Structure 1
Amino acid sequence: MWAEDASYPIPSKGIRYLHHRGVAHGRLKSRNCIVDGRFVLKITDHGHGRLLEAQKVLPEPPKAEDQLWTAPELLRDPALERRGTLAGDVFSLGIIMQEVVCRSAPYAMLELTPEEVVQKVRSPPPLCRPFVSMDQAPVECIHLMKQCWAEQPELRPSMDLTFDLFKNINKGRKTNIIDSMLRMLEQYSSNLEDLIRERTEELELEKQKTDRLLTQMLPPSVAEALKTGTPVEPEYFEQVTLYFSDIVGFTTISAMSEPIEVVDLLNDLYTLFDAIIGSHDVYKVETIGDAYMVASGLPQRNGQRHAAEIANMSLDILSAVGTFRMRHMPEVPVRIRIGLHSAHLPL
């Protein structure tokens, strides 16, 4: 068994080592090229024919699916096929290159049975060779494969020349499987970092939305205390003014409207109110149905300005409601009732 670093997708380095010692593999095929747990490419089954000859054992005739890598001159001479030749190994290497480039079995694109392929390769014309599209591999690689498939053994390149040509095709780039895995891991890590950054930004946006919603439902001081997990202590406010309003005839309007129309009415009206109270020192407590409740003097104390803030806000709301129209019943005017309550305790 010959082992080599898996820097090349074909076993050119291992076969070159064998040929330098005058040893022909004779049974070279992709099935004999294995990669172990340390990502080392190992070439097996070389010298099998010589071992059988030394023991004077005649092997069984090979099956057609095992002869797809065999050179034509070896198919015509069973004795030569058992021994193998250096040029025959080059032919087999070319077939392995076709498997690597096309990601398919030998001659798969011809849609012939193994028996038909072997018969056509053994008895040309016409020549039977795999077909590789020019867009499947570099031109130099396809040209090298065709040289390895030459009908005449002497026209095939030597393994040294094949090795050098293959290195030139790679242009010095390392194709070590470990390097490829590291590059893939680096790319995965980079993609993961981008994904985490994107998800973090989305999380931050959602957090901001949640914070805005929370501050709309609760006083900022209370919302902050809840987020940090600290207890919310009750407070007593001596000077506060409250605002209450509802829609006049809301029950009748609801009866004459579809549910979604009622929702649109309240949404449009309270959106208008929310825009108005933003310019006053007030805090919206809540909305229930058509009821709208606002307070001034809490949660931030503002001295004795609470009554004036609520009164000015009420006048602005009344002015805006005068021009407000319902989408589904624009001819019906909208009127609201407003009530104020002010508590001022002497200090």
Structure 2
Amino acid sequence: MDEQSKVDSLLREMLPESVVNHLRNKRTVTAEHFDCVTLLFSDIPQFGPIVGQCALLQTIALLNILYTVFDSILPRFDVYKVETIGDSYLLASGLPTRNGSRHAGEIARMTLSMLQASESIHSPIDPAERLRLRVGIHSGHCAAGVVGLKMPRYCLFGDTINTASRMETHGAASRIHVSGTTKHLLDQIGGFKTETRGTIFIKGKGEMVTFWLLH
């Protein structure tokens, strides 16, 4: 029972608890549609030069430090860590457990904490230079489900994921770039300050009015 508890605990770090329960009971995990969730993509603009000038083990150590710091912040918010790919960090709120209209606020508060925490981590190339996080946030509908049998993954699908990713790639270092949809939800929640970035051309989306989240 002790060993089973350890296995279950590990699985819950890798997959949503509801999915773990289904898999443990040999039940089929059904994909779900979510009417509105908020997604966050972040990356490190300096990551290319860091990889080019550091030993590979140094790069892995840096990412481990960064993601350990971010992971320690997660329990304070109703946010689910979907995955990390290299220096890219993907979070969601509103799934796998629906939380009404709170998802945009949960992601916004998590992001502000991440931005503050990243300032304490320094570049291995130049110890005087702090890591600068670039963040993009978008809200919308998506589908989610478990894919694969070997090392199954909880994956998200839909245009909301693509748009959130575009918010990040068209963003700026040390800034939080949000879509108009997310800005509208934050205005409804109250307590957040944004400023208009203006109309910009987003690859694959055309012209969009976007915003910076300040606090």
Structure 1 residue 313 corresponds to structure 2 residue 110: yes
Structure 1 length normalisation: TM-score?
A: 0.39
Match of 1:231 in 2: 28
Distance 1:228 1:326 in 2: 46
Deviation for aligned residue 1:236: 1.0
Report 1:1-347 matches (<5 A).
204-205=2-3, 207-326=4-123, 329-343=126-140
Deviation for aligned residue 1:215: 1.3
Distance 1:255 1:210 in 2: 38
- In structure 1, what residue type is equivalent to 2:104? A
Write out per-residue CA displacement over residues 50-78 of structure 1, whole angstroms, 9 at most, x where no aligned residue.
Answer: xxxxxxxxxxxxxxxxxxxxxxxxxxxxx
Write out per-residue CA displacement over residues 119-153 of structure 1, whole angstroms, 9 at most, x where no aligned residue.
Answer: xxxxxxxxxxxxxxxxxxxxxxxxxxxxxxxxxxx
Pairwise CA RMSD? 1.9
Greater strand content: 2
Distance 1:327 1:227 in 2: 42
Distance 1:252 1:209 in 2: 39
- In structure 1, what residue type is equivalent to 2:39? L
Q: Which moved more, 1:330-339 or 1:237-246?
A: 330-339
Deviation for aligned residue 1:287: 0.5
Distance 1:344 1:227 in 2: 29
Write out per-residue CA displacement over residues 210-237 of structure 1, whole angstroms, 9 at most, x where no aligned residue.
Answer: 2222112211101111111111111111
SS at match of 1:278: helix
Change (3 A) 1:223 1:319: same
Bigger RCO of structures 1 and 2 (CA < 8 A, at least 6 apart): 2
Change (3 A) 1:299 1:262: same
Q: Which one has the largest radius of gyration?
A: 1
Distance 1:209 1:254 in 2: 35
Deviation for aligned residue 1:208: 3.2
- In structure 1, what residue type is equivalent to 2:62? L
The answer on whether the counterparts of 2:50 and 2:125 sit within 8 Å (CA) in structure 1 is no
Deviation for aligned residue 1:322: 1.4
- Structure 1 runs of 4+ aligned residues shifted over 3 Å read 326-329
Aligned residues: 142
The answer on whether the counterparts of 1:261 and 1:328 sit within 8 Å (CA) in structure 2 is no
Greater helix content: 1
Write out per-residue CA displacement over residues 221-256 of structure 1, whole angstroms, 9 at most, x where no aligned residue.
Answer: 011111111111111111200010011121110111
Distance 2:131 2:84 in 1: 18
Distance 1:213 1:299 in 2: 18
- In structure 2, what residue type is equivalent to 1:213? L
Structure 2 length normalisation: TM-score?
A: 0.62
Deviation for aligned residue 1:332: 2.6
Unpaired segments ≥5 residues, structure 2: 143-215
The answer on whether the counterparts of 2:54 and 2:124 sit within 8 Å (CA) in structure 1 is no
Deviation for aligned residue 1:209: 3.3
